[in-house]
Structure 1
């Protein structure tokens, strides 16, 4: 079993029980105590849990950092990225939102030519600059430490200089009311990107279904949702 799979399973167990003993993890996952301790240490360092004597308890956080997001639901994000390719053509102008799901698309863009790609993600830039025959632009603005997203008024004003054929956006949750993010400043950037694009795509793996966060930044009718699994009818399927 991969370490990422163990992290997810441990978190699911703790979410169900609110706390868990080390021995329960060993028995449920059929792993050694040493491995279980290492996994708990990793999750504590990522501020997902708090170690207590003999086990751990869950910490509810507002938003996960980008390093952790890249480690979870990797297969689901890859499925989404491959589906997105059906909508991209050479020469298009593309907005790529910050986030690990939108970032999973980048490795598949090298076969395209003359794309103009604009992003508000500091973390996307390193991979985007490896693309051949394409132009890359990074928005200015305040950088959000947890996710590397450029946010706020400066980023919004930067966006007003561009027009896009396609915009690919992530969300922390989606339900029958629309798409959500916990950060008002990040919501402003998403809203402006939606205004600037002809076609909008919301990339959400199935774990985002029926979840909501502090700010709604888009309605279901504002674009097409792309996911790794069948989309429930009530949220646009």
Structure 2
């Protein structure tokens, strides 16, 4: 396959998944990992993808409406959200991280649900603002514009004062040995504090986030109450998680 054809193949593959893993793509195309890394570097320099440790993400175009969020693999994220709904109880204090999986989950929450919800995600805050019985606390701080979430010491300080019943944690990558990992250091620090102040932590992970690894560790699997995916718990992809004693739904 010529380089031009590989680049087109990579861009076409992003129509199916949010992240492409370097090793998996090298095996799929039967070429070296170094070749894939060079391809990723070229596409990154053209502003088409974001190259990260172990893979790459597609650069998303800015929407004309800042709150009109395009959700990739929305069907999978709806499945995750539906499985998470039974964890909601009236009157809970809830912390919710950012991400389109949690955004899809929020769209499924019954309109009359009553709870206190803290979030540092602007799109999720806007979605939950439509619920009259939810006491919504948006945690302000430095805005990370690409993800529309706040980060920094101000966010961590507010979180440190909360006693939450449950945390719904969006996942960038989750691995049996590495646990939850993140691309950005500041987001990893915020998520660590969310976990620390929550009685239960529910990791929300679509299948493309499983068995991946990023630079900054958030937590080990032992700190999670459950991992919710779009997969059947008997799927070979989550077999190692189940065998390690993780509750997978």
* Counterpart residue number, 1:227: 229
Q: In structure 2, the residue corresponding to 1:124 is in which secondary structure?
A: helix
Aligned: 1:88 with 2:88: yes
TM-score, with normalisation over the residues of structure 2?
0.70
* Count of aligned positions: 199
Q: In structure 2, the residue corresponding to 1:225 is in which secondary structure?
A: strand
Mapped contact 1:179–1:218 kept (Cα < 8 A): yes
Q: In structure 2, the residue corresponding to 1:105 is in which secondary structure?
A: helix
* Counterpart residue number, 1:153: 153
Q: In structure 2, the residue corresponding to 1:61 is in which secondary structure?
A: strand
Measure how far apart 1:50 and its partner are. Answer: 5.2
Q: In structure 2, the residue corresponding to 1:113 is in which secondary structure?
A: coil
Measured in 1, the distance between the counterparts of 2:183 and 2:81 equals 23
1:203–1:144 Cα change, 3 Å: same
Mapped contact 2:78–2:105 kept (Cα < 8 A): yes
Measure how far apart 1:94 and its partner are. Answer: 0.7
Unaligned runs of 5+ in 1: 19-46, 52-57
* Counterpart residue number, 2:108: 108
Measure how far apart 1:154 and its partner are. Answer: 1.1
**1 or 2, which has the higher helix percentage?**
1
* Counterpart residue number, 2:219: 218
Mapped contact 2:50–2:58 kept (Cα < 8 A): no
Measure how far apart 1:126 and its partner are. Answer: 1.4
Mapped contact 1:179–1:219 kept (Cα < 8 A): yes
Q: In structure 2, the residue corresponding to 1:89 is in which secondary structure?
A: coil
Measured in 1, the distance between the counterparts of 2:17 and 2:46 equals 13
Return structure 1 stretches of 4+ with deviation > 6 angstroms.
Answer: 65-69
Tell me how large the CA RMSD over aligned residues is.
3.1
Q: In structure 2, the residue corresponding to 1:186 is in which secondary structure?
A: helix
* Counterpart residue number, 2:167: 167
Within-5 A mapping of 1:187-198? 187-198=188-199
Q: In structure 1, the residue corresponding to 2:146 is in which secondary structure?
A: coil
Measured in 2, the distance between the counterparts of 1:104 and 1:207 equals 16
1:147–1:162 Cα change, 3 Å: same
Partner deviation per Cα, 1:146-195 (whole Å, 9 max, x = no partner): 10111121110011221111100012111112001111111111011111
Within-5 A mapping of 1:1-237? 8-9=15-16, 59-62=49-52, 70-176=70-176, 177-223=178-224, 224-231=226-233, 232-235=238-241, 236=246, 237=248
Measured in 2, the distance between the counterparts of 1:118 and 1:97 equals 9
Measure how far apart 1:10 and its partner are. Answer: 9.4
Mapped contact 2:181–2:216 kept (Cα < 8 A): yes
Measured in 2, the distance between the counterparts of 1:65 and 1:136 equals 30
Mapped contact 2:16–2:73 kept (Cα < 8 A): no
